[in-house]
Structure 1
Amino acid sequence: MQLTGSQIVVECLKEQGVDTVFGYPGGAILNIYDELYRHQDEIHHILTSHEQGASHAADGYARSTGRVGVCMATSGPGATNLVTGIATAHMDSVPLVAITCNVGVPLLGKDSFQEVDIAGVTMPITKYSFLVKDVKDLAGALRRAFKIAQTGRPGPVLIDIAKDVTANKTEYKPEVPKIIPRSMEQIEAASVEKALKLMRKAKRPMIFVGGGAVISGAEKELLEFAKKLDAPVTDSLMGKGAYPGTDDNYVGMLGMHGTKTADLSVGEADVLVVLGSRFSDRVTGVTKNFAKKAKIIQVDVDPAEINKNVIVDVSVIGDVKSVLDIFNSRLEQLSHPEWMEKVMERKRTLPLTYSKDRLTGPYIIEKLYELTNGEAIISTEVGQHQMWAAQYYKYTRPRTLITSGGLGTMGYGLGAAIGAKVGNPDKTVVNIAGDGCFRMNMNEIATATRSNIPIIELIFNNSVLGMVRQWQTLFYGERYSHTILKDKVDYVKVAEAMGARAYRITKMEEVEPVLKEALAAGEPVVIDCVIESDDKVFPMVAPGKNLEDVFDEEDLNAES
Structure 2
Amino acid sequence: MKVSDYIADFIARQGVKKIFMLSGSGSVYLDDSIAGKNLDFICVRNEATAPMMAESYARLTGKLGVACITSGPGGTNAVSGLSEAWVDSAPVLVISGQVDKKHTCHKANIKNLRSLGIQEIDIIPIVNSLTKYAQMVEDPDSIRYHLEKAVYLAKSGRPGPVWLDIPLDVQSSIIDEKMLEGWNPEASEKDLDKNKLKEAVMLLAESKRPLIIAGQGIRIAKSLDEFKNLIEKLKIPVILSRLGQDMLPFSYRYNLGHGGMKGLRYTKLIMSKSDLILSLGSRLAVPFVSDALSESAKIIMVDIDEAELKKPSIRVDLQINSDVKEFIEGLLKEDVKVDASDWLKDCQGYKESYPLAGPARNPIDLYYFVSRLDALSKENSVFVSDAGSSYYVTGQALRFEKGQREITSGAFASMGLAIPLAIGSASADPSRQILAITGDGSLELNIQELKTMSSCGLDIKLFVINNGGYVSIRNTQDALCGGRHVGSGQAEGLNFKKIADAFELPYESIQNYEEVDGKITEILNKKGPVFIEVVSDNCQKIIEPIKQI
Place the TM-score, normalised by the shorter chain, in its bin: over 0.9
Question: Are 1:45 and 2:50 counterparts?
Answer: no
Partner of 1:347: 351
Partner of 1:10: 8
1:426-466 Cα offsets, whole Å, 9 max, x none, are 11111111111111112111101111112111111111212
Tell me how far apart the structure 1 counterparts of residues 346 and 184 of structure 2 sit (CA, whole Å). 46
Partner of 2:33: 35
Partner of 2:304: 301
Partner of 1:62: 58
Tell me how far apart the structure 2 counterparts of residues 231 and 181 of structure 1 sit (CA, whole Å). 38
Deviation at 1:315, TM superposition (A): 2.0
Deviates more, 1:221-230 or 1:79-88: 221-230
Q: Structure 1 312/174 Cα, relative in aligned 2: closer, same or farther at 3 Å?
A: farther
Tell me how many residue pairs correspond in the alignment: 538
Deviates more, 1:253-262 or 1:24-33: 253-262
Q: Structure 1 418/171 Cα, relative in aligned 2: closer, same or farther at 3 Å?
A: same
The one-letter code matched in structure 2 to 1:465 is: Y
The one-letter code matched in structure 1 to 2:293 is: F
Partner of 1:250: 255
Question: Are 1:484 and 2:520 counterparts?
Answer: no
Partner of 1:104: 100
Unaligned runs of 5+ in 2: 106-114
Tell me how far apart the structure 2 counterparts of residues 255 and 54 of structure 1 sit (CA, whole Å). 30
Tell me how far apart the structure 2 counterparts of residues 177 and 201 of structure 1 sit (CA, whole Å). 51
Deviation at 1:329, TM superposition (A): 1.6
Question: Are 1:521 and 2:526 counterparts?
Answer: yes
Whether contact under 8 Å (2:358, 2:366) holds in the other structure is no
Deviation at 1:169, TM superposition (A): 1.2
Tell me how far apart the structure 1 counterparts of residues 5 and 383 of structure 2 sit (CA, whole Å). 37
Q: Structure 1 192/131 Cα, relative in aligned 2: closer, same or farther at 3 Å?
A: same
Deviation at 1:174, TM superposition (A): 9.4
Whether contact under 8 Å (1:15, 1:176) holds in the other structure is no
Whether contact under 8 Å (2:137, 2:164) holds in the other structure is yes
1:73-128 Cα offsets, whole Å, 9 max, x none, are 10011111111111001001111001101111010115222111111111111111
Deviation at 1:15, TM superposition (A): 2.2
Tell me how far apart the structure 1 counterparts of residues 125 and 186 of structure 2 sit (CA, whole Å). 30
Tell me how far apart the structure 1 counterparts of residues 441 and 187 of structure 2 sit (CA, whole Å). 40
Tell me how far apart the structure 2 counterparts of residues 376 and 170 of structure 1 sit (CA, whole Å). 45
Deviates more, 1:225-234 or 1:62-71: 225-234
Of the three residues 175, 178, 181, the one matched with 1:173 is: 178
Deviation at 1:150, TM superposition (A): 0.1
The one-letter code matched in structure 1 to 2:328 is: L
Partner of 1:316: 320
1:207-240 Cα offsets, whole Å, 9 max, x none, are 1112212211222222221222221110111111
Deviates more, 1:25-34 or 1:353-362: 353-362
Q: Structure 1 437/77 Cα, relative in aligned 2: closer, same or farther at 3 Å?
A: same
SS of corresponding position for 1:504: strand
Tell me how far apart the structure 1 counterparts of residues 403 and 121 of structure 2 sit (CA, whole Å). 38
Of the three residues 267, 276, 279, the one matched with 1:271 is: 276
Whether contact under 8 Å (1:377, 1:429) holds in the other structure is yes
Q: Structure 1 176/133 Cα, relative in aligned 2: closer, same or farther at 3 Å?
A: closer
Partner of 2:505: 500
Whether contact under 8 Å (2:3, 2:140) holds in the other structure is yes
Q: Which runs of 4+ in 1 moved over 4 A?
A: 174-184, 396-399
Deviation at 1:372, TM superposition (A): 1.5
Question: Are 1:389 and 2:387 counterparts?
Answer: no
Q: Structure 1 373/448 Cα, relative in aligned 2: closer, same or farther at 3 Å?
A: closer
Deviates more, 1:204-213 or 1:308-317: 308-317
Q: Structure 1 84/210 Cα, relative in aligned 2: closer, same or farther at 3 Å?
A: same
Whether contact under 8 Å (1:278, 1:305) holds in the other structure is yes
Deviates more, 1:229-238 or 1:350-359: 350-359
Deviation at 1:152, TM superposition (A): 0.4
Whether contact under 8 Å (1:296, 1:312) holds in the other structure is yes
Deviates more, 1:311-320 or 1:189-198: 311-320
Whether contact under 8 Å (1:24, 1:74) holds in the other structure is yes
Deviation at 1:183, TM superposition (A): 8.2
Tell me how far apart the structure 2 counterparts of residues 111 and 412 of structure 1 sit (CA, whole Å). 33
SS of corresponding position for 1:527: strand
The one-letter code matched in structure 1 to 2:384 is: S
SS of corresponding position for 1:260: coil
Q: Structure 1 320/226 Cα, relative in aligned 2: closer, same or farther at 3 Å?
A: same
Deviates more, 1:96-105 or 1:394-403: 394-403
Of the three residues 204, 220, 223, the one matched with 2:225 is: 220
SS of corresponding position for 1:369: helix
Whether contact under 8 Å (1:204, 1:271) holds in the other structure is yes
Unaligned runs of 5+ in 1: 541-546, 551-560
1:35-74 Cα offsets, whole Å, 9 max, x none, are 122112xx10111121122221111111111111101110
Partner of 1:558: none
Tell me how far apart the structure 2 counterparts of residues 548 and 512 of structure 1 sit (CA, whole Å). 35
The one-letter code matched in structure 1 to 2:314 is: V
Whether contact under 8 Å (1:229, 1:334) holds in the other structure is yes
Whether contact under 8 Å (1:56, 1:413) holds in the other structure is no
Whether contact under 8 Å (1:492, 1:527) holds in the other structure is no
Tell me how far apart the structure 2 counterparts of residues 248 and 149 of structure 1 sit (CA, whole Å). 36
The one-letter code matched in structure 2 to 1:230 is: K
Partner of 1:548: 547
Tell me how far apart the structure 2 counterparts of residues 354 and 290 of structure 1 sit (CA, whole Å). 28
